[in-house]
Amino acid sequence: MAKTTTPLHLDRLETPIGTALLVTNVDGLLCALDWTDYQERLNVSLRRYLGAAPLVDAPAPKSIRQALTRYFGGDLDQLDTIPCHIPGTPFQTNVWTALRKIPVGTTLSYGTLAAQLGSPAAMRAVGHANGSNPLSVVVPCHRLIGANGALTGYGGGIERKRWLLRHEGVEVA
């Protein structure tokens, strides 16, 4: 994991499910997306994965803001267009890459994703990596559900997870 002291840019974007905090690097890549009600968790995640980089208020690239606005407006394929820098352990990176491949409108269980990654017994590790995802929504951790179809934990809260899944056309209780 490369740590940086180069400033990171913090922007805010109003969405139907709250104000999103967008963190981008000097290359214009999205490094983190979280919610204003979880800003302290975002700060901890940034320190863990990117070191002591200062966080300065600055606008995210227009293309990222537009893609997120379009996603929340119903153009669901826009998440795939967002360029990201996702630092993590090799296992986390594998999980997060696999999450980005789950098609819009579908869900997987933690166990199914673990099996797809070649580690069927690693469902708890997949759950932990999923919970450590610094890029909420863009790396669609909300698409993982319990083996029984239950909406299990979501870092942004179960109501946000429910909204995101319904927004993507998934029937949820």
pLDDT digits (tens, 9 = 90+) for 99-130: 999 999 999 999 999 999 999 999 999 999 99
List, for residues 139-153, the tens digit of each pLDDT value. Answer: 999 999 988 888 887
pTM value is 0.91
Show which residues are catalytic.
141
Q: Which domains does the chain have, with CATH numbers?
A: 8-81 (3.30.160), 90-167 (1.10.10.10)
For residue 23, the Cα-to-chain-centroid distance in whole angstroms is 12
pLDDT band at 4 (very low <50, low <70, confident <90, very high): low
pLDDT band at 40 (very low <50, low <70, confident <90, very high): confident
Cα-trace Rg, the chain: 15
pLDDT band at 6 (very low <50, low <70, confident <90, very high): confident
Q: What is the Cα–Cα distance from 47 to 60, expressed in whole angstroms?
A: 19
Residue whose tokens read 């200062």: 54
Residue whose tokens read 């469902």: 123
For residue 62, the Cα-to-chain-centroid distance in whole angstroms is 19
* Sign for the pseudo-dihedral over CA of 49, 50, 56, 61: negative
Query: Token pair for residue 149?
Result: 């179809």
Amino acid at 85: H
Where in the chain does DSSP place strands (E)?
8-15, 18-24, 30-35, 55-57, 108-109, 144-145
- Residue predicted with more confidence, 92 or 46: 92
pLDDT of residue 153: 77
User: Percent of the chain scored above 90 by pLDDT?
Assistant: 72
Closest to 142 measured CA to CA, from 162, 172, 169: 162
